[in-house]
Amino acid sequence: MRIVFSKKYTVKDQGHVFRADKFEAALRRLLAAGLISRRDVTEPARPSRRDLELAHTRRWAAKNLSCAFTPADSARAELELTPAVAGAHLMNVGGTILAARHALETGVGLNCGGGAHHAFRGRGGGFCLLNDMAVAIKKLLKEGRIKRALVIDLDVHQGDGTAAIFRRDGRVFTFSMHQRGLYPEKKEKSSLDVELPAGTGDARYLAALKENLPDVIARARPDFAVYVAGADVYKGDLLGGLKLTIGGIRKRDAYVLGECRRSGLPVAVVLGGGYAKKFADTVRIHAGTLAAAIREWRRKP
């Protein structure tokens, strides 16, 4: 079981609500639990300009590769755009590309990072610079490795950048189940948006997921999926209010991954948002998502 990670994902910025060190901390938790070994950790390659331009404008790709951002770019992304930050976002794109390849080879691919769904073709937003899922899907489509794809986005916020990038691409179905009234203020139109009220909780959330996901898979007819497993649906999250417990999130992950496997659908897992008041809770949730995938694909059919 391979897991994709680069130390370049980690950028130290203790003052920001998005702690990029959460990915490395989740990896360490998996290693400590003995679910993976160091031999299972795979370093991604930095994406090329051509890769980025599959989902992004030439100008935005060039800005990211040269770290030639304007103050407006930084304000829109709500990040201080240093070379280390730009490099981390580039490597996360490479990580999702590699996880997607692993998924096609073995049924599941794991990026211990990724999920930058607020990045649009020509700009960033909401802590996101480059849409790693869109680049990976576009690359597989261009190579002829897949014909149709599905994005299962269960972050607490709508995947507006992903929806916008694929709005006119009938080969890609975007499913976003998120909290009503949160960022982004202006929502994009996904193939299917399911908006849930604040305080939804485990039971109603899981019921909505089970009501929609099988139909989504049937409608999309995909031969590849990306699962954005946001940890910010958690009841202790600073930026979300869906109020799921850690147990509820475990059930969410197990259900999504189980449905993908039962459908014979290769899936790349990316981690997305997570801003729990207790940093250890975010780490525990992210590690739990990856552990659920590892256990599902190690289990005999």
Q: What is the pLDDT of residues 126-163, one digit of tens each?
A: 999 999 999 999 999 999 999 999 999 999 999 999 99
Residue 47 corresponds to which tokens in the numbers above?
Answer: 């994406």
User: Considering the chain, what is the average pLDDT of its residues?
Assistant: 97
Residue 118 lies in a domain: yes
What one-letter code names the amino acid at 14?
Q
Residue 4 lies in a domain: no
pTM comes to 0.97
**pLDDT at residue 107, rounded to an integer:** 97
Which residue's entry shows tokens 């179905």?
Answer: 173
Q: Between the CA of residue 212 and those of 32, 125, 133, 264, 268, what are the distances in Å?
A: 36, 28, 21, 18, 20
- Give the CATH number, domain containing residue 182: 3.40.800.20
Residue 13 lies in a domain: no
Q: Where are the alpha helices (DSSP H) in the chain?
A: 22-33, 49-52, 58-66, 71-77, 83-106, 132-142, 160-165, 201-220, 246-262, 279-298
Residue 8 lies in a domain: no
Q: Between the CA of residue 239 and those of 70, 72, 99, 271, what are the distances in Å?
A: 26, 23, 27, 16
Residue 215 lies in a domain: yes
Q: Rounded to an integer, what distance in angstroms lies between the CA atom of residue 208 and that of residue 212?
A: 6
Residue 217 lies in a domain: yes
Our measurement of the distance from residue 58's CA atom to the centroid of its chain's CA atoms, rounded to an integer in Å, reads 23
Residue 11 lies in a domain: no
Residue 52 lies in a domain: yes
User: What are the pLDDT digits (tens) for 194-218?
Assistant: 999 999 999 999 999 999 999 999 9
Q: Rounded to an integer, what distance in angstroms lies between the CA atom of residue 125 and that of residue 75?
A: 8
Residues facing 236 on adjacent strands: none
User: What are the pLDDT digits (tens) for 235-251?
Assistant: 999 999 999 999 999 99
User: What are the pLDDT digits (tens) for 74-83?
Assistant: 999 999 999 9
Please tell me the total count of domains within the chain.
1
Positive or negative, the CA dihedral 72, 77, 82, 86 is: negative
pLDDT of 301 higher than 80: no
**pLDDT at residue 14, rounded to an integer:** 64
Q: Rounded to an integer, what distance in angstroms lies between the CA atom of residue 91 and that of residue 229?
A: 19
Can you give the residue range of the structural domain that contains 181?
19-298
